Amino acid sequence: ESTDGSESSAGFPPGFLWGSATAAYQIEGAVREDGRTPSIWDTFSRTPGKVLGGDTGDVAVDHYHRMRDDVRMMADLGLSAYRFSVSWPRVQPGGSGPASGRGLDFYRALTDELLAAGITPSLTLYHWDLPQELETPRAGGSAAEGGWPQRDTANRFAEYAGLVAEALGDRVDLWTTLNEPWCSAFLGYGSGVHAPGRTDPVAALRAAHHLNLAHGLGVQALRAALPGRARIGVSLNPSAVRPLTRSADDLDAQRRIDALANRIFTGPMLSGAYPSDLMADTAHLTDWSFVREGDAATAGAPLDFLGINYYAPTVVSGSPPGGDADRHDDHGASDHSPWPGAQSVTFHRPPGELTAMDWSVDPTGLYDLLTRYAREAPGLELMVTENGAAYDDKPGPDGAVHDPDRIRYLHGHLAAVRRAMLDGADVRGYFLWSLLDNFEWAYGYSKRFGAVYVDYETLERTPKSSARWYGRVARTGVLPSAVPDAAR
Ligand code: GBH
């Protein structure tokens, strides 16, 4: 039924990867099995007040025990790729030393199942679950807190990357070092809404640097261990940041947030240097002496693809027009900012329709990011490694789950991807976040991002109507010109 629509605006090229994405701590459960040790998210989620409803990933959606059924479901839907992450404390308990054979066996089995089903595996090494032992050593270590603000964590990551590459390099061709280092650094150590929950702007900047360094050292370790056919990238969550007005103050707020959200990572990773305006904007906080000679160049190790995770745009102004009442952010009760040195910047809710996260539906932001990085990094392949939305999905009386809002969201964003491709962006794949409803970090199980509904009592899976709609797009490679009537 596949049409050669590669020249048309609705048809994606043959070989385009149609995937879904997940992350280990959000779906696996089995946190105490087969030698796994705690990660910072185990500790954080068990700390009262940190996660809505006191939810943890102890069971999550039990993917660790239902992996074969989950792969069969992807194959039945017609998906051609699957992006998952490896749990570091499962495959290298404690964060250093030898690999755990039992931990690696799970990912060997997962990738075998995927390959047997004709699904391309895309492996992310780090999706936020740092071994707790690297954050706070139980004994022997220095009294200081560790984690990403400490330089040695970057070396530990490179060692871990090499170990996973040795084990899985024969069967996985798509490798991603880090998922959204902005979140690890600024939500983990700045605002404290993510693990490990620290609130120190300088620790957050140090973390960002050591994540850049870890990425570069990780790329080196992967290149050394993987066969030549492997493709290596990183997944960022670049902010599509717009000024509220064209005033000088608002344009400067846009520049500052672009530096703190985007160029702090793309500077080193794509050009081997930190932006000078970023260092000037934060000079009152730190002299950046944690950046050593050669670090930014290390972070700039050549990449094969850039992964872009996109949900919603950001609108900023330079001075609060209506005082604090206008202030909007999605960082809950935290008084701490994830934007070091940007106290003058106010965040505004963009106009238009909102998802269950209160994030606005705005496909133009995705178009803008894809065409921006196509321009700034010519020759680099792009991949949409996450895009999707949470809605208040509920099974109907017949047990079916109809999610027309999600179909419209996906349709709009896929059209934006195709438009960006026709305007020169070399996009090789799209991964819907997420395959399954899952543990949505600080929101626990209260937000459903899945194309597949999960009943949290029985853990039974039910593909929503969006899963069937997306599966058809994946099988045909053609985006229908209109969304189904039910989704209007
Ligand atoms: C991704 O994070 C994660 O990779 C994935 O694990 C997660 O489940 C999924 O998205 C859905 O949340 O208010 O200015 O701080 C996305 C995290 C959410 C971080 C939006 C930035 C808004 C910026 N991003 N958030 S701001």
Average pLDDT (282-306) is: 98
Tokens of 402: 């109809």
pLDDT at 143: 45
Give whole-number Cα distances, 272 to 186, 260, 292, 416, in Å: 21, 16, 13, 30
Hey, whose CA ends up nearest to atom 18 of ligand 1? 311
Q: Is-contact 98 59, C-beta < 8 A?
A: no
Q: What angle do CA 234, 193, 160 make, to 5 degrees?
A: 35
441 labeled binding residue: yes
Tokens 């690890």 correspond to what residue?
184
CB-ligand 1 contact for 329 (6 Å cutoff): yes
97: left (phi over 0), alpha (psi -120 to 50) or beta: left
Q: Is the C-beta atom of 45 inside 6 A of ligand 1? A: no
Confidence (pLDDT) at 487: 62
- Residue having the nearest C-alpha atom to atom 6 of ligand 1: 23
Ligand 1, atom 17, residue with closest C-alpha: 183
pLDDT tens figures, 440-466: 999 999 999 999 999 999 999 999 999
What's the pLDDT score for residue 484?
A: 73
CA atoms within 13 A on the CB side of 327: 15
Distance CA(380)–CA(303), nearest Å, equals 7
Segment (H or E) for 381: strand 381-387
Active site residue 135: no
Give pLDDT, residue 156: 98
Distance, CA of 422 to CA of 418 (rounded, Å): 6
Of the residues 28, 113, 135, 180, only one is catalytic, namely 180
Cβ-proximal residues to 228 (8 Å cutoff; 6+ apart), any chain: none
The CB of 449 under 6 Å from ligand 1? The reply is yes
pLDDT (0 to 100) of residue 3: 44
pLDDT tens digits, 182-200: 999 999 999 999 999 999 9
**Residues 306-316, mean pLDDT to the nearest whole number:** 98
Question: Which of residues 8 and 474 earns the better pLDDT score?
Answer: 474
- Residue 26 is assigned to a ligand binding site: yes
- pLDDT tens readout for residues 124-154: 999 999 999 999 976 555 545 799 999 999 9
What is the tens place of the pLDDT at every residue in 266-283? 999 999 999 999 999 999
Residue 338: C-alpha distances to residues 21, 192, 312, 341 (Å): 25, 8, 17, 9
Q: How confident is the model at residue 306 (pLDDT cuts 50, 70, 90)?
A: very high
For residue 236, pLDDT over 70 is answered with yes
pLDDT at 142: 52
Average predicted confidence (pLDDT) for the chain: 94
Q: Is 180 annotated in the active site?
A: yes
Q: Indicate if the pLDDT at residue 29 is higher than 80.
A: yes
**pLDDT tens-place string over residues 336-351:** 999 999 999 999 999 8
3-class DSSP assignment, residue 178: strand
- Taking each helix axis from N to C terminus, what angle separates 101-116 and 63-77, rounded to the nearest 10 degrees? 20
Return the higher-pLDDT residue of 325 and 193.
193
23 CB less than 6 Å from ligand 1?
yes
Q: Is 179 one of the annotated binding-site residues?
A: yes
Confidence of residue 486 (pLDDT cuts 50, 70, 90): low
pLDDT for 226 equals: 98
Q: Which of 126, 237, 445 to mutate to test the pocket of ligand 1 (most atoms within 8 A of CB)?
A: 237
CA distances from 6 to 168, 355, 472, 479 (A): 33, 32, 17, 11
**485: CA distance to ligand 1 center in Å?**
30
Protein residue with least CA distance to atom 11, ligand 1: 440
Which pLDDT value is given to residue 482? 74
Could you read off the pLDDT of 154-187 as tens digits, one per residue?
999 999 999 999 999 999 999 999 999 999 999 9
| pLDDT > 90? residue 259 | yes
Report pLDDT digits (tens) over 375-411. Answer: 999 999 999 999 999 999 999 999 999 999 999 999 9
Q: Report DSSP state, residue 412.
A: H
Q: Does residue 488 register a pLDDT over 90?
A: no
Q: Average pLDDT in the 99-116 region?
A: 98
Q: Is 446 in the pocket of ligand 1 (CB under 6 A)?
A: no
- The CB of 179 under 6 Å from ligand 1? The reply is yes
How far apart, in whole angstroms, are the C-alpha atoms of residue 310 and residue 315? 15
* Strand 120-126 to 174-179 pairing: parallel
> Is 90 exceeded by the pLDDT of residue 92?
yes
Regarding the beta carbon of 237 and ligand 1, being less than 6 Å apart is answered yes
